[in-house]
Structure 1
Amino acid sequence: MLSLLSDPDEETLRNVAEALTESGQAVSIYDAEDNLRYANETYRGMFLVGYEGPYTFADILRYGAAHGLGVRIDDGDVEALIARTLPRRRSSRRKSFETDLLDGRWFWIEHTVLPNGWILTVGTDISALKHNEKSLRQAHESALLASRTDLLTGLPNRRYILELLDEALAAGEAPGAGLCASIIDIDQFKVVNDTYGHDAGDAVLRHFAQVFRESLRPGDHLGRIGGEEFLLLQMDFRLDDAARLLNGIRAEFPPATLPDQATRRPIAFSAGMTAALPHDDRSSILSRADRALYAAKAEGRNCTRIGLGMERTATDRAHAPAKTAGRSS
């Protein structure tokens, strides 16, 4: 164990350090020149295994970085850490902070600058607390993800994709922002269910979702809004480019393998696409995309139609607007 130099406060410091050591805490004392004067067993195990000096704060950090001891340095630059830390070592009389070690443990550090410029640090192992905190955070994140996910396809569910639409419309108020929204319907889906059963229908839905996931750009979103209908949000995209991408996916869409592993079912889909207009809200943009989808269905399916404004065609007027359930496949 390192020993304190002769000092009027030596006995007091030693008594404090020994009392803290008995509690299992990590204790260190540095003098005014940042030389280590005392380290208990716990502290030595954190920073000094195999170390023979010099016992300055900076050199101890360098040794730890080189030998896998001590604090975790996110960017791996120990010299930058030293340069940031040294000027702040005595910036306040008392401060507290948490730090994680390379061995996976977490410590809560109480840092006290004494009247003579020496520094007393007392570290308490909070690894169990951090583990519980991490577990709770992961459980919360898992629950949040489950509440936003369609269980069958793994895509955003109706509620979440509509929330993403609202967020995109709000962000679209900025100059130059673009949003294309498409309602997509798998053609003749009822025939799959009636002919091959609901397990086959589920396989088609999962296959459809997987192909789209692999085909979209990062930042675009596809969500299932009900049955065999999906909502596609394409961000910062011109309408003609968005339509070209969607038609390219359709042209190369691979058939789905049904549960019997012998039947391969071609997949076709119809889409109604529109671009966000100034002052659009959820209802107006979905209504426009929905009318375009009705037009695609009326014109023979397996195509994309674009809704450019609020005009209504004869086909549009023949159908009620914006209803997900009950649409003919």
Structure 2
Amino acid sequence: MPQLPSDPNDETLQSIVEALAGSGQAVSVYDAEDNLRYANETYRGMFLRNYEGPFTFTDILRYGAANGFGVRIDDGDVEALIARTLPRRRSSRRKSFETDLLDGRWFWIEHTVLPNGWVMTVGTDISALKHNEKSLRQAHESALLASRTDLLTGLPNRRYILELLDEGLAAGMASGAGLCVAIIDIDQFKTVNDTYGHEAGDAVLRHFAQIFRESLRPGNHLGRIGGEEFLLLLADVRLDDAARLINGIRAGFPPVTMPDQATRRPIAFSAGLTAALPHDDRSSILYRADHALYVAKAEGRNCTRVGLGMDRAFPDHVAAQEKMAART
């Protein structure tokens, strides 16, 4: 590698070179015109390698980008990076920042503008710290996901689906977008447990969750709120379209294969559906959906009933209440 340009008579450069020549950090010195005047071995390995010049800040960046090493550029546009960086390069006397390289290493850069306009950078390898930080972040994300997930079905659990409901109601009030909510109950689930055992019941729940989830578009959510009961959130959809969606899923629902691998059993479900009204909160909208589900159960199961408000959804509310005892 050719020697980099230098001025051995410059006292500033000489003092810096003597102090930093043996440093394990990545050290560079650029003059006021952004020509590289000094780089130690670590810096050379990061940004120069077999480069033969010209040794300007911008040319070094371009060379690394063209040859697959040096600073990671997220959008791949080195000219845009240069355009963003140059105006800030001498905007403050001292600044610190982290940067990552294409080889996976991370460096903490101490950037100092000297009185004569030269720039000195000292980079410290923080790869181990970043990797530990990534591991901690991944562990946190995993713990957060576990706290939000129903272990059996992989769906959002009761707490998380209710949080999503609250968010959906708030978003709907802010934007005017529609939100439909359905409480869904698997019919005759107790019979499955009593006849085939709890392992079969678990298989039914997993199968139901998988098929239903695969039928939803992004932004819609199904969560398990307890036992064989689920909460469905359909964003930005009209009530009649939501009913058609649920009925279409029901009509095409494949039977579940029981753990004995020999028994296939159809799955039926009842649904109580409602749409968010102005000033709805969690309690009021779930109240309508739950009572619509009671009606669906009372009227023979395996159907969807819509709750538009107690006066319209339940013209014979006393009779509906009496039929609730049949719900299983």
TM band (smaller chain)? over 0.9
| Matching residue of 2:310 | 310
| Matching residue of 2:231 | 231
SS of residue in 1 equivalent to 2:234: strand
Distance 1:274 1:162 in 2: 16
**CA 1:200 to 1:13, structure 2 compared with 1: closer, same or farther past 3 Å?**
same
| Matching residue of 2:214 | 214
Q: How does 1:284-299 map to 2 (within 5 A)?
A: 284-299=284-299
Cα deviation, residue 212, structure 1: 1.0
Unaligned runs of 5+ in 1: none
TM score, norm. by length of structure 2? 0.95
Say whether residues 1:7 and 2:10 are aligned partners: yes
Amino acid in structure 1 at the alignment position of 2:277: L
Q: How does 1:185-224 map to 2 (within 5 A)?
A: 185-224=185-224
CA-to-aligned-CA distance 1:84-142 (integer Å, 9 cap, x gap) = 11121111111100000000000000000111111000000000000111111111111
| Matching residue of 1:37 | 37
**CA 1:69 to 1:33, structure 2 compared with 1: closer, same or farther past 3 Å?**
same
Residues 295 and 315, structure 1, Cα contact 8 Å, conserved in 2:
no
| Matching residue of 1:270 | 270
Of stretches 259-268 and 102-111 in structure 1, the one that deviates more from structure 2 is: 259-268
CA-to-aligned-CA distance 1:41-78 (integer Å, 9 cap, x gap) = 10011011111111111111111111111110000001
SS of residue in 2 equivalent to 1:102: coil
CA-to-aligned-CA distance 1:283-329 (integer Å, 9 cap, x gap) = 111110011101111111111000001323435665399x9xx9833
Residues 294 and 316, structure 1, Cα contact 8 Å, conserved in 2:
no
Distance 2:149 2:293 in 1: 24
Distance 2:84 2:175 in 1: 40
**CA 1:316 to 1:116, structure 2 compared with 1: closer, same or farther past 3 Å?**
farther
Residues 291 and 316, structure 1, Cα contact 8 Å, conserved in 2:
no
Unaligned runs of 5+ in 2: none
SS of residue in 1 equivalent to 2:310: coil
**CA 1:327 to 1:93, structure 2 compared with 1: closer, same or farther past 3 Å?**
farther
Cα deviation, residue 12, structure 1: 1.4
Cα deviation, residue 10, structure 1: 2.6
| Matching residue of 1:97 | 97
How many aligned residue pairs are there? Answer: 323
**CA 1:157 to 1:317, structure 2 compared with 1: closer, same or farther past 3 Å?**
farther
| Matching residue of 1:134 | 134
Runs of 4+ in 1 over 4 A off after TM superposition: 315-318
Distance 1:58 1:257 in 2: 64
SS of residue in 2 equivalent to 1:134: helix
Q: How does 1:119-158 map to 2 (within 5 A)?
A: 119-158=119-158
Q: What percent of counterpart residues are identical?
A: 80
| Matching residue of 2:66 | 66
Distance 1:317 1:2 in 2: 93
* RMSD of aligned alpha carbons: 1.7
Distance 2:307 2:320 in 1: 16
| Matching residue of 1:25 | 25
Say whether residues 1:113 and 2:113 are aligned partners: yes
